[in-house]
Structures are given as structure tokens and as C-alpha cells.
């Protein structure tokens, strides 16, 4: 689909222009699963092969894999390959513009991100209290984010790029771009949002320290509700990207700046 033909699929809404993609829910899910899985395994393979190519000992190889630089290389490769594979799927379907990058960022985008971010934090607190009345959620369970030794300023810079810059761009393209766009072609906003949010929360459940990270699942589910709302309201991914960066940035400051002092 060319840029001109894609522009004809833009359908005006009440307060927005929402792109109608050429794919449906099934193809959207296939695109994000294939992009994510292939990129993750390929990147992991590269990080593991590097020590073999330079003849590292097992001890040095383990240090490399768990180092900040090793984790940074893995994240950059994984996120970059994900976008590359996704581009392969989208190249004849309108490109990344069809996935939600329909325009350049506007001043209103970070403003919307902050407003929805405040609502997200309030809703998260309320939901945690309510769920806690009926079940037990370990709110202090540690999340496995991969970066365990962050000491120098270079470590902090690499970690910032790996956690605050790259994941929001890629995850918003995958979930609120490709998947949400495909679902909205067939389903109402509420059902599309609930499905995307559930699928977005599931991987985060597996990031606990040996156990299911229920608080992480609840957190990301509620965050996705706000991100989908921004996608629907603005017709673009930029507000969602800013909110996602804001959320990850707050976590980064807490973990690697304030707590590490």
C-alpha cells in the first residue's frame, strides 16, 4: 500500500483521525509474535556466541552476559530486529505510518501523556487496594529487568537507553500500533483495549524473581488501558510513547539514581 493509498483509508472520528490498517486481528497477532520471538532468540544467540568467538573462559563469558554492556547489546539487537522484522511485514501495508506513526509529535502529546499518567497512577493505587482486599499481592516482589550491576555513569546511560528509550518505542508499535489497530478494524474500542491490555500484561507476569509477578501484570494491564485510550483519542502513537517513557523513566530514577545512592 503506498502512502497515497494509505491516506485515503484515514477515517475521521469525533475528535481525531484514526488510521484503518489493511490487516485484521489475526495477522496483527502473527506479526507481533513472529517479530518478538525471532528477534529475542536471534539476539540471545548473538550475545551467547560473542564469548565463543573471542575465546572467553566460562567465567568471563558469564560476566559478559550479565554485564551492563552485554545486556545493552542484547536489548539493542532485540529491539532493532523486532522493528526490522515488523517493517518486513508492513512495507507493503503502509509502513509504520499505518501502525500508528501517522504524524510528527505535537506539543499536546506529552501533555496528554502526563494527564493520563496521573490517572493511571491513581487507578493503580485504587486497584491494588481493592484486589488486596480479596487476595494477596506481593507489592515488593522484585522485577527481573536484566540490569543488576549499574555503577558507572556509562552503565547508567546504557541502562537508560535500554529501559526508557527503546522498549516504549517498540512495544507501542507492536501492541498499541499493530495489534490494537488490527483489533479496532473488527471490534469496539472497549474489547480491543481489554484484549491488548491482557496480552500486554501476560509477558510481564513472567518477570518475577522465580514467581509470577502479579503486581507487574496488574500494573502493565492498567497502564495499557491508558495507552490504548491515548491511541484512540489522538489517532497516533506519540502520546502513548511519551507516557510509556515517563512510566519507565520514573522506575529508572527510583532504581538506579535514588536507591543506588
pLDDT in tens, 29-68: 999 999 999 999 999 888 888 877 777 777 777 777 788 8
Name the phi and psi angles at 201, rounded to 5.
Answer: -75, -30
Q: What is the sign of the dihedral through the CA atoms of 206, 207, 209 and 214?
A: negative
For the segment 21-27, the average pLDDT, to the nearest whole number, is: 92
Q: pLDDT at position 205, please?
A: 79
Q: In a 10 Å sphere around its CB, with 0-12 CB exposed, 13-18 middle and 19+ buried, how is residue 231 labelled?
A: buried
Asked whether the beta carbons of 183 and 192 are under 8 A apart, the reply is yes
Q: pLDDT at position 2, please?
A: 42
The C-alpha atoms of residue 223 and residue 219 are separated, in whole angstroms, by 6
Q: pLDDT at position 15, please?
A: 42
Q: In a 10 Å sphere around its CB, with 0-12 CB exposed, 13-18 middle and 19+ buried, how is residue 168 labelled?
A: buried
pLDDT digits (tens, 9 = 90+) for 222-236: 999 999 999 999 999
pTM across the whole model: 0.88
For the segment 69-98, the average pLDDT, to the nearest whole number, is: 93
Amino acid at each position: 500500500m503506498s502512502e497515497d493509498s494509505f491516506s485515503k483509508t484515514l477515517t475521521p472520528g469525533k475528535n481525531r483521525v484514526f488510521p484503518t490498517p489493511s490487516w485484521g486481528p489475526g495477522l496483527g497477532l502473527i506479526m507481533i509474535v513472529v517479530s518478538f520471538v525471532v528477534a529475542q532468540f536471534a539476539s540471545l544467540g548473538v550475545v551467547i556466541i560473542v564469548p565463543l568467538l573471542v575465546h572467553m573462559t566460562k567465567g568471563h563469558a558469564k560476566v559478559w552476559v550479565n554485564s551492563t554492556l552485554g545486556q545493552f547489546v542484547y536489548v539493542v539487537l532485540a529491539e532493532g530486529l523486532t522493528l526490522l522484522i515488523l517493517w518486513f511485514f508492513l512495507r507493503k501495508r503502509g509502513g509504520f505510518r499505518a501502525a500508528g506513526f501517522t504524524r510528527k509529535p505535537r506539543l499536546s502529546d506529552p501533555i496528554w501523556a502526563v494527564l493520563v499518567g496521573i490517572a493511571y497512577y491513581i487507578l493503580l493505587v485504587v486497584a491494588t487496594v481493592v484486589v488486596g482486599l480479596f487476595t494477596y499481592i506481593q507489592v515488593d516482589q522484585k522485577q527481573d529487568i536484566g540490569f543488576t550491576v549499574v555503577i558507572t555513569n556509562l552503565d547508567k546511560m546504557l541502562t537508560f537507553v535500554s529501559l526508557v528509550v527503546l522498549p516504549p518505542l517498540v512495544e507501542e508499535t507492536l501492541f498499541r500500533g499493530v495489534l490494537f489497530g488490527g483489533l479496532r478494524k473488527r471490534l469496539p474500542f472497549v474489547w480491543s483495549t481489554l484484549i491488548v491490555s491482557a496480552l500486554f500484561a501476560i509477558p510481564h507476569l513472567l518477570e518475577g524473581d522465580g514467581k509470577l509477578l502479579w503486581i507487574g501484570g496488574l500494573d502493565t494491564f492498567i497502564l495499557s488501558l491508558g495507552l490504548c485510550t491515548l491511541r484512540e483519542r489522538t489517532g497516533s502513537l506519540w502520546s502513548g510513547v511519551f507516557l510509556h517513557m515517563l512510566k519507565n523513566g520514573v522506575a529508572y530514577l527510583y532504581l538506579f539514581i535514588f536507591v543506588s545512592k
